[in-house]
Homo-oligomer: A and B are copies of this chain.
Amino acid sequence: MPEQTSEQQEVLTLDELRDVWVVLSGTERQEGFHLLSKMEAEDFFLALPALDMSELVLALPAEERRSWIRLAPPDDVADLVQASPPEQREHLLALLDEPTRKEVAALLAYREDVAGGLMNPRYARVRPNMTVDEALVYLRNQARAHLGTIYYVYVMDETQRLVGVVSLKQLFAAAPDKTVRDVMRTDLVLVEEQTDQEAVSQLFAEHDLLAIPVVDGEGRMKGLVTVDDIVDVVQEEATEDAQKFGGMESLDAPYMKIAFLRMVKKRGGWLAALFLGEMLTATAMAHFEDQIARAVVLALFVPLIISSGGNSGSQASTLVIRAMAVGEVRLRDWWRVMRRELATGLVLGIALGCIGFLRIFLWQQVAPTYGEHYMLVAFTVFFSLIGVVTFGTLAGSLLPFVLRRVGFDPASASAPFVATLVDVTGLIIYFSVAAVMLRGALL
| Interface residues, chain A, with chain B CB atoms under 8 Å away | 14, 18, 22, 39-40, 43, 46-47, 139-140, 143-144, 147, 149-151, 168-169, 172-173, 185, 187, 201, 204-210, 227-228, 230-232, 234-235, 238-239, 241-243, 245-248, 251, 254-256, 260, 263-264, 267-268, 270-272, 274-276, 278-279, 281-282, 285-286, 289, 292-293, 296-297, 299-304, 306-308, 310-312, 314-315, 317-323, 326, 328-329, 333, 336, 340, 343-344, 347-348, 351-352, 355-356, 359, 369, 389, 414-416, 419-420, 423, 427
When all copies of this chain in the complex are counted, the total is 2
By beta carbon, the residue of chain B nearest A424 is: B303
* A415 contact set on B, CB distance < 8 A: 245-247, 314, 415-416
| Beta-carbon contact of B47 and A206 below 8 Å | yes
Distance to closest chain B CB from A160 (angstroms): 24
Distance to closest chain B CB from A27 (angstroms): 20
| Beta-carbon contact of A275 and B314 below 8 Å | no
- Other-chain contact of A299, B254, B299, B328 (Cβ < 8 Å): B299
| Beta-carbon contact of B285 and A139 below 8 Å | no
* A301 contact set on B, CB distance < 8 A: 282, 285
- C-alpha spacing A231/B438, complex, angstroms: 57
18 contacts between A and B (CB under 8 A): A39-B187, A43-B207, A150-B168, A242-B242, A242-B321, A245-B245, A246-B319, A246-B415, A247-B311, A255-B329, A256-B323, A267-B312, A274-B308, A275-B308, A282-B301, A303-B427, A310-B419, A415-B416
